[in-house]
Structure 1
Amino acid sequence: MPVVSVRRLEIPDVMLFEFRVFEDNRGFFTELWKRGEYLALGLPYDFVQVNLSYSHPNVVRGLHYQLKPSEQGKLVYVVKGRVFDVAVDVRRGSPWFGRWVGVDLRPGQALWVPPGFAHGFQAIEESWFLYLVTKEYDQARERCINWSDPVIGVKWPNPTGAILSNRDKACPPLSQAEYNFEYTVSQ
């Protein structure tokens, strides 16, 4: 079994997976996605698009999400490097609405960010980042929340050195953001 452990974070719909890595003198091998195994672990999704990004140290990407009916769940991996990965709950009626969880994500780990969450990360070092997503990118439904919204209060590793795109700098705070997700207990 490639997944060694699953840990639900402070917002229990967000899960951290640790993988078994098989290493030898050639390098290493690990299975990142095995549908049956993830189904058994409570992740009832299939992925329709895979994205890869490269980021210099201190780059912040996010906080991004897509509105329904194009809402995306994301299983994210650091292929090389290290990132501080963040999920913010934007589901109306959720006991965790507006709260965030973050993990220091390294190779051999993956974070599940369910639909209804804004997602972002800050590269701690030069990083290659892989996203498996449950729905295709839909520019018309893409939205974002300001990465430094004080109401959310994400504790970024290096906020003063953050490097952002102009688009991410212009994202509104949560109080002005558009979202259309509802919390349900079955999530």
Structure 2
Amino acid sequence: MGMESEQIDGVHIKKIVRHEDERGYFSELLKRGEPGFHTIEQTSYAVCKPGVIKAFHFHDYWESWVVLRGRAQIVIRDTRSGSKTEGLTQVIYAGEEEPIAISIPPNVAHGYKALGDKDVGMLYHAEEAYNSTRKDQIGAIAFDSPDIGFDWNSHG
């Protein structure tokens, strides 16, 4: 698991174990009762082309991510007012060769960049189902916002 920074309060990272043999492999991604597990109301899958940045967004519920294909630079910024890690940026590298599950607390901004020359396939588990009529459920910050000040080209 590649990490380049301090951990944001409440972010949980689980190393995923592969049980592999000549037939392939099996992995448990998330399990009820494990640290970082939260109720799952929606599961989604996204594909991101190499070099593309999808950032930053935040919402008022927990979300867990697993990179199933390719490799991603994941950037998390604690935007919670009064948090003991408020303003901290955490950088994590994950992918099919570095399998981890990342649980992200409510109201923590997060995004990722697809690294290398392969598409990134990202599995999302959300504690609440997306509701397009709830405008207060989700927010966004530009990937190049000076408020965050992250240089996407300086890592990875």
**TM-score greater than 0.5 by the shorter chain:** yes
Q: Which residue in the other structure is 1:129 paired with? A: 122
1:125-164 equivalences under 5 Å are: 125=116, 126-139=119-132, 140-141=135-136, 142-157=138-153
Deviation at 1:34, TM superposition (A): 1.2
Q: Which residue in the other structure is 1:73 paired with? A: 62
Task: Verify the 8 A CA contact 1:9 1:16 in the aligned structure 2.
Answer: no
Q: Which residue in the other structure is 1:182 paired with? A: none
Q: Which residue in the other structure is 2:101 paired with? A: 110
Task: Verify the 8 A CA contact 2:53 2:114 in the aligned structure 1.
Answer: yes
Deviation at 1:151, TM superposition (A): 3.0
Deviation at 1:111, TM superposition (A): 1.1
Task: Verify the 8 A CA contact 1:84 1:157 in the aligned structure 2.
Answer: no
* Correspondence for 1:55 among 48, 68, 85: 48
Amino-acid identity (%): 28
Quick one: distance in 1 between partners of 2:140 and 2:127? 18
- Gapped runs of 5+ residues in structure 2? none
TM-score under structure 2 normalisation? 0.83
Deviates more, 1:104-113 or 1:49-58: 104-113
TM-score under structure 1 normalisation? 0.70
Higher relative contact order (CA 8 A, sep 6+): 2
Quick one: distance in 2 between partners of 1:44 and 1:16? 10
Quick one: distance in 2 between partners of 1:102 and 1:134? 23
Deviation at 1:96, TM superposition (A): 2.3
Deviation at 1:53, TM superposition (A): 0.3
Q: Which residue in the other structure is 1:30 paired with? A: 27
- Gapped runs of 5+ residues in structure 1? 1-7, 160-187
Residue identity opposite 2:40 in structure 1: F
How many positions carry a matched residue from both structures? 144
Quick one: distance in 2 between partners of 1:17 and 1:157? 26
Q: Which residue in the other structure is 1:93 paired with? A: 82
Task: Verify the 8 A CA contact 2:31 2:37 in the aligned structure 1.
Answer: no
Quick one: distance in 2 between partners of 1:27 and 1:131? 23
Residue identity opposite 2:51 in structure 1: N
Root-mean-square deviation (Å): 2.0
Structure label with greater radius of gyration:
1
Deviation at 1:112, TM superposition (A): 1.2
